[in-house]
Amino acid sequence: MCGICSAIGGENKIFEVLNGLKKLEYRGYDSSGIAYFDNGKIKVIKSIGEIKNLEKEIDNSLYSNNVIGHTRWATHGKVSFENAHPHLSQDKRYALVHNGIVENFETLREKLLSDIDFLSQTDTEVLVNLIAKQQGSTLQKLISACSLVEGSFALCLQHEKEQKIYLAKRKSPLMVAKNEHGCMASSDMSVFAGRFETCYIMNDNEFAVMDNKNILFFDKNGKKIEKNAIFIKNCDFCEENNSEKYFMLKEIKEQSLVIKRTFFKYFVENVFLQFDDLKKYKSFHFIACGTAFHSALLGARFIQKFCHKKCEVSVASEFRYDDNVLSKKCLYVFVSQSGETADTIACAEIVANRGFDTMAVTNVPYCSLNNLTKFVLPTFAGKEVAVASTKAYTAQVFTLLILALKISGHNYSQILKNFSNTFEIEKPDENVVNFVSGFKKIFFIGRQQDYVTSLEGALKLKEIAYVNCLGMAGGELKHGTLALVDGQTLVIALSTQFSLKEKMESNIQEVKARGGKILLLSQFEPMVDVDMFVPLAKFEEFLMPIVGIVPLQFLAFAYATKLGLNPDKPRNLAKSVTVE
Ligand code: AGP
Give the residue from 390, 383, 445, 426 showing the smallest Cα distance to 556: 390
Q: For residue 577, tell me if it sits in a domain.
A: no
Q: For residue 574, tell me if it sits in a domain.
A: no
Phi, psi of 336 (to 5 degrees): -160, 125
Angle at 117 between CA 113 and CA 118, to 5 degrees: 85
302 shares a domain with 400: yes
Q: For residue 87, tell me if it sits in a domain.
A: yes
For ligand 1, atom 9, the nearest C-alpha belongs to 290
Q: Where are the alpha helices (DSSP H) in 58-180?
A: 105-112, 123-133, 138-148
Euclidean distance between CA atoms 530 and 276, whole angstroms: 47
pLDDT at 410: 87
Euclidean distance between CA atoms 10 and 31, whole angstroms: 28
Q: For residue 20, tell me if it sits in a domain.
A: yes
CATH number at residue 150: 3.60.20.10
Our CA dihedral for 494, 549, 424, 388, rounded to 10 degrees, sits at: 160
Euclidean distance between CA atoms 556 and 461, whole angstroms: 5
Ligand 1 centre and the CA of 385: distance in Å?
Answer: 12
103 shares a domain with 82: yes
Best residue among 27, 333, 335, 341 to mutate for probing ligand 1's pocket (most ligand atoms within 8 Å of CB) is 341
Euclidean distance between CA atoms 186 and 190, whole angstroms: 9
Give the residue from 19, 26, 1, 17 showing the smallest Cα distance to 98: 1
pLDDT at 240: 60
Ligand 1 pocket, 291 CB below 6 A?
yes
Residue 240's identity, in one-letter code, is: E
Give the residue from 554, 522, 519, 555 showing the smallest Cα distance to 538: 522
Give the residue from 273, 261, 280 showing the smallest Cα distance to 380: 261
CATH number at residue 467: 3.40.50.10490
466 shares a domain with 360: no
261 shares a domain with 407: yes
139 shares a domain with 13: yes
Query: Of the candidates 390, 409, 425, which is a domain's last residue?
Result: 425
- Residue 159: burial class (beta carbons within 10 Å; 0-12, 13-18, 19+): buried
Asked if residue 49 lies in contact with residue 29, where contact means CB atoms within 8 angstroms, the answer is yes
DSSP state of 171: B
Asked if residue 143 lies in contact with residue 131, where contact means CB atoms within 8 angstroms, the answer is no
Best residue among 294, 337, 466 to mutate for probing ligand 1's pocket (most ligand atoms within 8 Å of CB) is 337
Ligand 1 pocket, 457 CB below 6 A?
no
Ligand 1 pocket, 337 CB below 6 A?
yes
353 shares a domain with 437: no
Helix axes 255-263, 544-562, angle to 10 degrees: 150
Query: Of the candidates 383, 405, 425, which is a domain's last residue?
Result: 425
The phi-psi region of residue 246 (left if phi > 0; otherwise alpha if psi is between -120 and 50; otherwise beta) is beta
What residues are labeled active site?
2, 575
Describe the strand order of the beta sheet including 87-88 as a list of residue ranges: 87-88, 94-102, 151-159, 165-170, 206-210, 215-218, 224-225
443 shares a domain with 377: no
Residue 287's identity, in one-letter code, is: I
Ligand 1 pocket, 344 CB below 6 A?
yes
443 shares a domain with 374: no
Euclidean distance between CA atoms 37 and 41, whole angstroms: 6
317 shares a domain with 168: no
pLDDT at 241: 65
169 shares a domain with 55: yes
* Domain boundaries, position 521: 426-567
DSSP state of 86: P
| Total domains in the fold of the chain | 3
Ligand 1 centre and the CA of 70: distance in Å?
Answer: 22
Query: Of the candidates 425, 442, 459, which is a domain's last residue?
Result: 425
pLDDT at 239: 56
3-state secondary structure of 35: strand
Ligand 1 pocket, 189 CB below 6 A?
no
Ligand 1 pocket, 113 CB below 6 A?
no
Q: What percent of the residues of the chain are helix, what percent strand, and what percent coil, each to the nearest 5?
A: 40, 25, 35
Find all residues with CB under 8 Å of 57, minimum gap 6, and list them: 45, 46, 47
430 shares a domain with 420: no
Ligand 1 pocket, 553 CB below 6 A?
no
Ligand 1 pocket, 362 CB below 6 A?
no
pLDDT tens sequence for the chain (580 residues): 789 999 999 899 999 999 999 989 888 889 999 999 998 899 999 999 989 999 999 999 999 999 999 999 887 778 899 999 999 999 999 999 999 999 999 999 999 999 999 999 999 999 999 999 999 999 999 999 999 999 999 999 999 999 999 999 998 899 999 999 999 999 988 899 888 988 999 999 999 999 999 999 999 999 999 999 988 764 445 556 667 889 999 999 999 999 999 999 999 899 999 999 999 999 999 999 999 999 999 999 999 999 999 999 999 999 999 998 999 999 999 999 999 999 999 999 999 999 999 999 999 988 899 999 999 999 999 989 999 999 999 999 999 999 999 999 988 999 999 999 999 998 999 999 999 999 999 999 999 999 999 999 999 999 999 999 999 999 999 999 999 999 999 999 999 999 999 999 999 999 999 999 999 999 999 999 999 999 999 999 999 999 999 999 999 999 999 999 999 999 999 888 877 7
Find all residues with CB under 8 Å of 164, minimum gap 6, and list them: 8, 66, 138, 158, 209, 210, 211
Euclidean distance between CA atoms 369 and 340, whole angstroms: 6
pLDDT at 76: 74
Q: Which atom of ligand 1 is nearest to the CA of 392?
A: 14
Euclidean distance between CA atoms 99 and 92, whole angstroms: 20
- Residue 524: burial class (beta carbons within 10 Å; 0-12, 13-18, 19+): middle
Euclidean distance between CA atoms 512 and 534, whole angstroms: 18
pLDDT at 513: 95
Asked if residue 142 lies in contact with residue 207, where contact means CB atoms within 8 angstroms, the answer is yes
Best residue among 295, 338, 572 to mutate for probing ligand 1's pocket (most ligand atoms within 8 Å of CB) is 338
Asked if residue 491 lies in contact with residue 275, where contact means CB atoms within 8 angstroms, the answer is no
Find all residues with CB under 8 Å of 137, minimum gap 6, and list them: none
Q: For residue 575, tell me if it sits in a domain.
A: no
Q: For residue 345, tell me if it sits in a domain.
A: yes
Ligand 1 centre and the CA of 8: distance in Å?
Answer: 33
Q: For residue 572, tell me if it sits in a domain.
A: no
Q: How far is CA 216 from the centre of its chain?
A: 30
73 shares a domain with 99: yes
User: Is the whole model's pTM more than 0.85, yes or no?
Assistant: no
Q: For residue 554, tell me if it sits in a domain.
A: yes
For ligand 1, atom 6, the nearest C-alpha belongs to 290
Ligand 1 pocket, 496 CB below 6 A?
no
In terms of residues, how long is the chain? Answer: 580
Find all residues with CB under 8 Å of 409, minimum gap 6, and list them: none
Ligand 1 pocket, 387 CB below 6 A?
yes
Q: How far is CA 420 from the centre of its chain?
A: 25
Best residue among 577, 578, 579, 580 to mutate for probing ligand 1's pocket (most ligand atoms within 8 Å of CB) is 577
Ligand 1 centre and the CA of 336: distance in Å?
Answer: 7
